[in-house]
Structure 1
Amino acid sequence: MEIIRGKEFVAERAWGAKDIACMNGITTRLHWTDQPYKWHTNDGEEVFVVLDGSVEMFYKKNGAEKSTLLNVGDIFYASVGTEHVAHPVGVARVLVVESEGSV
């Protein structure tokens, strides 16, 4: 049993993470960041939940780049093949649920 205070989590580097659980090949990780990630496409589905701060999520739909601002409580679901990149607005903490070993 463990209680994790998401708003108190800080990593040593951008996108540093605390592994919370791995259940049947699906990982749940708490990330801290103050820097953009990189454009990527996951080989599986991804659920991205903003716990603290705001994140501008850029994604490609039908070849066109789009973005949306995610605030606390917002969830971004990336289906297989969704190209995307997260840009925090200041400091953000996010919960990511995805296949183990995913980018």
Structure 2
Amino acid sequence: MEIIRAKQFKADRSWGAKDIANMNGVTTRLHWTKEPYKWHVNDGEEVFVVLDGTVEMFFKEDGLEKSALLNTGDIFFASVGTEHVAHPVGEARILVVEKEGSV
């Protein structure tokens, strides 16, 4: 049993994470960042939940680059093959649920 105060979590580097659970190869991790990630495609589905802060999520749909502003409480679902990159606006804390070993 563990209680995690997400708003108090801060990693020693951007995109540093606290591993919360691994359930049959599906990981749940809490990330802290103040810098963009990198364009990538996961090898499985990904659920991306903004717990604190704001993130501009860029993604490609039908070959076109689009973006959506995600605020605290918003969820982004990346289906298999969705190319995307997260750009926090200031500091952000994000819960990511994805296949173990994903980028």
Structure 2 partner of 1:8: 8
| Partner secondary structure for residue 85 of structure 1 | strand
- % identical equivalent positions: 80
Give the whole-Å Cα distance in 1 for the aligned partners of 2:18 and 2:65.
30
Q: How far is 1:23 from its partner?
A: 0.2
Structure 2 partner of 1:77: 77
Give the whole-Å Cα distance in 1 for the aligned partners of 2:68 and 2:55.
8
Give the whole-Å Cα distance in 2 for the aligned partners of 1:35 and 1:88.
6
Give the whole-Å Cα distance in 2 for the aligned partners of 1:52 and 1:23.
24
Matched, 1:44 2:74: no
| Partner secondary structure for residue 87 of structure 2 | strand
Structure 1 partner of 2:97: 97
RMSD of the TM alignment (CA)? Answer: 0.2
Regions of 4+ moved over 6 Å? none
| Partner secondary structure for residue 2 of structure 1 | coil
> Higher strand share goes to which structure?
1
State the TM-score, normalizing by the size of structure 1. 1.00
| Partner secondary structure for residue 44 of structure 1 | coil
State the TM-score, normalizing by the size of structure 2. 1.00
Unpaired segments ≥5 residues, structure 1: none
Structure 1 partner of 2:64: 64
Aligned residues: 103
Structure 2 partner of 1:34: 34
